[in-house]
Chain A
Amino acid sequence: MRRQLLRTLVAGLALAATLPFAAPARAAYPDRPIQLLVPWGAGGGTDAVARIVGSLLEKELGQPVSVVNRTGGSGVVGHTAIASAAPDGYTIGIATVEIGMMHWQGLTPLTPADFTPLALMNHDIAAVQVASNSPHQDIKALIEAIKANPGKLKASGTGQGGIWHLAMAAMLSELKIDPQSVPWVPSNGAAPGLQDLVAGGVQIVPCSIPEARSLIDAGRVKSLAVMGAERNAAFPNVPTLKETVGVVWEMGAWRGIVAPKGLPEDVQKVLIPALKKVYESKEYTDFMSSRGFGAVWAEGPEFGAFMAKGDAELGAVMKKVGLAR
């Protein structure tokens, strides 16, 4: 009996003695497989980006990177799972623009500050699309039509309060037009919204150009203007809002790799350069350009500042439109 007790004590002491050494042992990070959480479903754009980043990161780090989809609740479930994981570098995730939106709606207390920003990998600017047989063939005509008949033209392309909804509302309020004069028709993403545009159900879809590309190529959809400072390199014929109506406004969807808050410096020092190599690799650049996704890089604190800025801007728009609680 006593001997058993003694043995337990010794074992416990031995375990306690190893604990202080556990930290230096992590110097060999990563020494086991890494999970990359995706808050959106398999098959979507975010999933595709996560999978290519995962497979390239695997090569850089020499450890398997398994991509795991945690979907539901408009991204709340997955973002929560990333933020609440242990900050040991073995659970990282891909965050999307929604992280700066859902807390304003009162869906979650999570904000960008709950993550360790690692690397911004992609940014797609909103653009204004209409059906090619639309009577409004340029952005000025469209804006005039909105002003003349508030509430008549309807827009779609994402859910209520989604990024393209906010981009549209923000553009209108920059133009001194009431955002409510283009009612929003919620849809399950850009593709169903675009289909409805061609079917004649809605008149405007303010999604990113890459999302509308196949229908633009098919001659069914026309892009009138990009809501960015510069034209899209793949679509040089589409003017910017600044050139046409003199409004400087930039809003879009982004994707970046984040970790739970409090990720140790030494782990960050391994992950960020590895992600940079992934970003610069030929495979990644080819993938992004073939999908028409905009490749934009920002690392660590710079990415953190980008998220914070976007968060504040989105909050302001959502209050204006009445979506913030």
Chain B
Amino acid sequence: MQAIEAAFGLVFQGHVLLVIGLAAAFGLFVGAIPGLTATMAIALLVPVTFFMDPITAVGAMISCSAMAIFAGDIPGTLLRIPGTPASAAYTSEAYAMTRKGEGEIALGANLFFSALGGLFGTAVLIIGAPMLAEVALKFSSFEYFWLALLGLTCAVFIGSGSATKGLVSLFLGLLIATVGLNNPAGVPRFTFGSVDLMGGVDFIPAMIGLFAVSEVLRVMVHGTAGWSAPQAAVGNLFTGWGRMFVKYWPQQLRGNVMGTAIGALPGAGADIAAWVSYATSRKFSKTPEKFGTGHVEGIIESTSANNAALAGAWVPALVFGIPGDSITAVVIGVLYIKGLNPGPTIFINNPQMIYAVFIIFILANVAMIPLGWAAIKAAKQILRVPRNLLMPAILAFCIVGAFATNNAAYGVVLMLGFGVLGFIMEENDIPIAPCILGIVLGPMLEENFVTSMIKSEGSFLAFFERPIAAACGIATLAIWFAPPLIRLVRRARSAPAAA
């Protein structure tokens, strides 16, 4: 109890709260710029934290990252430029809402459910961190292989068109993921002697190209008809949120649980959490036909998941010093510098610090609502700009974002190439989301498959030998083969009846 009091004393000081507020504004700004990721925002903060006391430093990082992840949804929803791969899962959906005139509703849902997801993840972190970390630590390459495969399976469920076209897009993404040197054997593939291609295809320029540049091209070809519907303003935000919360609470809860669980696994993280949640939401929805046309249901589930995953990633980071994602990788470094060495002992030696971290997590997620709301109101003004002026500006933004990912013109070339690819794909009704999923998960799938095969000396049975792996494997295979089998059985039964 004393520790909790001490923790409140540590956090509620003028300068600590001021720094947390400034870091939040900084995160909001960086996250809203396409191409700049939450990880980058955190890395930029590191030199500044050298001159802060431990709690201020950690507080700045937590509030900055939470804000940046949410802010990535703003350009995704309004301009179809996803800020992070985590928000790519529902970018098309949110943009469709904007086109229907419901941009503000989409962003409001993003904001509210992001904050709720973050709070849920924090609650789990507070209650179950040491226990959950034990489970997460049991995951080896065999389990991650199945997880990646399960993630890829989502490709079939997320595309609104035919499953075949979803698979075409997915395999295209997997092919793109093989480019470069970053494969388990360290052998250059499809590099054609180019040093830039050795680095592979970075998913951020690819993502910006596929989503945003393709949209610019489409407007160029089909003309600027203006927004098809006027933008509706949300009158009373609390009733709007209240209604959504009442209507979609099961989706929200499922997203939270899934997000926290996947986020706690080192090597999975917010990206997979968002994709899996979106696919689950569509699969179990009463109105799956509405998905892809600007329907808020899937957005709620996946946005809950990616913010819950953010807190989940702190579970293995705090307990074992193993980063759950690239953000916590940076944070662990800062924890060491500040003498807060992660490990089970931190809970015993430094309980007031841990409680202070929890308090900051809660504060950051609560502060997200007013700050985010102001950002949405400001960003919404973009939609007043006539589209024939907006599109060139979007292109300029895309170029800046693609350049910023690796500070090289190579990113810009990639982005333009993917823009053309995305345009061709969408003109032929091939969904682009599965392609991104392939680029993000392809390397994870390959890496874990190859390392597992090395460990098992080539025996496929090893994928079922460990209990968790076996469960994951059976679940994946069931998802693949159960529906066609059930259909086959039904047909076999109905056939004699008809005859």
User: Which residues 376-414 of B sit at the A interface, judged by CB distance below 8 A?
Assistant: 406-408
Contact, CB under 8 Å: B343 / A188: no
Q: 1/0 per residue B21-56: CB within 8 Å of A?
A: 000000000000000000110110011001000000
Contact, CB under 8 Å: B200 / A186: no
The reply to whether the CB of A264 lies closer than 8 angstroms to some CB of chain B is no
The reply to whether the CB of A262 lies closer than 8 angstroms to some CB of chain B is no
When C-beta atoms are compared, the residue in chain A nearest to B198 turns out to be A73
The reply to whether the CB of A150 lies closer than 8 angstroms to some CB of chain B is no
State how many angstroms separate the Cβ of B47 from the closest Cβ of chain A.
4
The reply to whether the CB of A195 lies closer than 8 angstroms to some CB of chain B is yes
Per a CB cutoff under 8 Å, which of B138, B339, B451 touches A185? B451
Contact, CB under 8 Å: B454 / A183: yes
Residues of A within 8 A of B332 (CB): 214
With A and B bound together, what is the CA distance between A76 and B327 in angstroms? 24
Contact, CB under 8 Å: B321 / A213: yes
The reply to whether the CB of B185 lies closer than 8 angstroms to some CB of chain A is yes
With A and B bound together, what is the CA distance between A191 and B329 in angstroms? 9
Per a CB cutoff under 8 Å, which of A77, A161, A191 touches B323? A191
Q: Which of B50, B195, B202 has the most CB of A within 10 A?
A: B195
The reply to whether the CB of B140 lies closer than 8 angstroms to some CB of chain A is yes
Residues of B within 8 A of A159 (CB): 184, 186
State how many angstroms separate the Cβ of A235 from the closest Cβ of chain B.
14
Contact, CB under 8 Å: A73 / B321: no
With A and B bound together, what is the CA distance between A105 and B202 in angstroms? 23
The reply to whether the CB of B436 lies closer than 8 angstroms to some CB of chain A is no
When C-beta atoms are compared, the residue in chain B nearest to A165 turns out to be B186
The reply to whether the CB of A31 lies closer than 8 angstroms to some CB of chain B is no
With A and B bound together, what is the CA distance between A160 and B266 in angstroms? 21
The reply to whether the CB of B240 lies closer than 8 angstroms to some CB of chain A is no
The reply to whether the CB of B333 lies closer than 8 angstroms to some CB of chain A is yes
With A and B bound together, what is the CA distance between A8 and B457 in angstroms? 74
Contact, CB under 8 Å: A47 / B43: yes
Q: 1/0 per residue B190-203: CB within 8 Å of A?
A: 00000110111010
Q: Which of these binds chain B: A16-24, A49-57, A138-146, A236-244?
A: A49-57
| CB within 8 Å for A215 and B185 given contacts A43-B43, A72-B406 | no
Contact, CB under 8 Å: B341 / A196: no
Contact, CB under 8 Å: A291 / B336: yes
Contact, CB under 8 Å: B140 / A214: no
Contact, CB under 8 Å: B140 / A215: no
The reply to whether the CB of B139 lies closer than 8 angstroms to some CB of chain A is yes
Per a CB cutoff under 8 Å, which of B39, B338, B341, B451 touches A187? B451
Q: 1/0 per residue B342-358: CB within 8 Å of A?
A: 11110000000000000
The reply to whether the CB of A108 lies closer than 8 angstroms to some CB of chain B is yes
Residues of A within 8 A of B339 (CB): 290
Per a CB cutoff under 8 Å, which of B40, B47, B142, B266 touches A201? B142
Per a CB cutoff under 8 Å, which of B50, B139, B195, B320 touches A80? B195
State how many angstroms separate the Cβ of B312 from the closest Cβ of chain A.
16
| CB within 8 Å for A215 and B47 given contacts A73-B195, A108-B195, A199-B140 | no
The reply to whether the CB of A172 lies closer than 8 angstroms to some CB of chain B is no
Residues of A within 8 A of B142 (CB): 201
Per a CB cutoff under 8 Å, which of B181, B338, B407, B451 touches A186? B451
| CB within 8 Å for A195 and B137 given contacts A183-B454, A185-B455, A214-B343 | yes
> Interface range on chain B: under 10, 10 to 19, 20 to 34, or 35 or more?
35 or more
The reply to whether the CB of B231 lies closer than 8 angstroms to some CB of chain A is no
Contact, CB under 8 Å: A217 / B333: no
With A and B bound together, what is the CA distance between A291 and B340 in angstroms? 11
Per a CB cutoff under 8 Å, which of A42, A217, A219 touches B341? A217
With A and B bound together, what is the CA distance between A283 and B198 in angstroms? 36
User: Which residues 13-54 of A sit at the B interface, judged by CB distance below 8 A?
Assistant: 41-45, 47-48, 51-52, 54
Q: 1/0 per residue B254-277: CB within 8 Å of A?
A: 000000000000110000000000
Contact, CB under 8 Å: B454 / A74: no
Residues of A within 8 A of B160 (CB): none
Residues of B within 8 A of A43 (CB): 39, 42-43, 326-327, 329-330, 333
Contact, CB under 8 Å: A186 / B186: yes
Contact, CB under 8 Å: B140 / A200: yes
| CB within 8 Å for A161 and B186 given contacts A199-B137, A217-B345 | yes
When C-beta atoms are compared, the residue in chain B nearest to A198 turns out to be B137
Contact, CB under 8 Å: A42 / B43: yes
The reply to whether the CB of B447 lies closer than 8 angstroms to some CB of chain A is yes
With A and B bound together, what is the CA distance between A184 and B186 in angstroms? 13
State how many angstroms separate the Cβ of A325 from the closest Cβ of chain B.
10
User: Which residues 245-293 of A sit at the B interface, judged by CB distance below 8 A?
Assistant: 283, 286-287, 290-292
User: Which residues 46-86 of B sit at the A interface, judged by CB distance below 8 A?
Assistant: 46-47, 50
Contact, CB under 8 Å: B47 / A107: no
Contact, CB under 8 Å: A292 / B200: no
With A and B bound together, what is the CA distance between A285 and B50 in angstroms? 13
With A and B bound together, what is the CA distance between A203 and B321 in angstroms? 19
Residues of A within 8 A of B199 (CB): 71-73, 76-77
The reply to whether the CB of B163 lies closer than 8 angstroms to some CB of chain A is no
Contact, CB under 8 Å: B181 / A73: yes
Contact, CB under 8 Å: A48 / B320: no
The reply to whether the CB of A136 lies closer than 8 angstroms to some CB of chain B is no
With A and B bound together, what is the CA distance between A159 and B42 in angstroms? 26
The reply to whether the CB of B322 lies closer than 8 angstroms to some CB of chain A is yes
The reply to whether the CB of B182 lies closer than 8 angstroms to some CB of chain A is yes
The reply to whether the CB of B166 lies closer than 8 angstroms to some CB of chain A is no
Residues of B within 8 A of A55 (CB): 47, 50
Contact, CB under 8 Å: B184 / A218: no
The reply to whether the CB of A321 lies closer than 8 angstroms to some CB of chain B is no
Contact, CB under 8 Å: B337 / A70: no
| CB within 8 Å for A201 and B185 given contacts A43-B43, A68-B407 | no
The reply to whether the CB of A202 lies closer than 8 angstroms to some CB of chain B is yes
User: Which residues 133-191 of B sit at the A interface, judged by CB distance below 8 A?
Assistant: 137-142, 180-182, 184-186, 188
7 example contacts (A-B, Cβ-Cβ < 8 A) are as follows A48-B46, A73-B182, A185-B141, A186-B184, A195-B322, A201-B140, A217-B341
Q: B-side interface residues toward A, CB under 8 Å?
A: 39-40, 42-43, 46-47, 50, 137-142, 180-182, 184-186, 188, 195-196, 198-200, 202, 266-267, 316, 319-323, 326-327, 329-330, 332-333, 336-339, 341-345, 406-408, 447, 450-451, 454-455, 457
Q: Which 4 A-B pairs have the closest CB atoms?
A: A72-B199, A214-B321, A73-B198, A201-B140
> Apart from A73-B198, A196-B451, A217-B321, what 6 extra A-B contacts exist at CB < 8 Å?
A42-B39, A42-B42, A76-B198, A77-B406, A185-B454, A218-B319
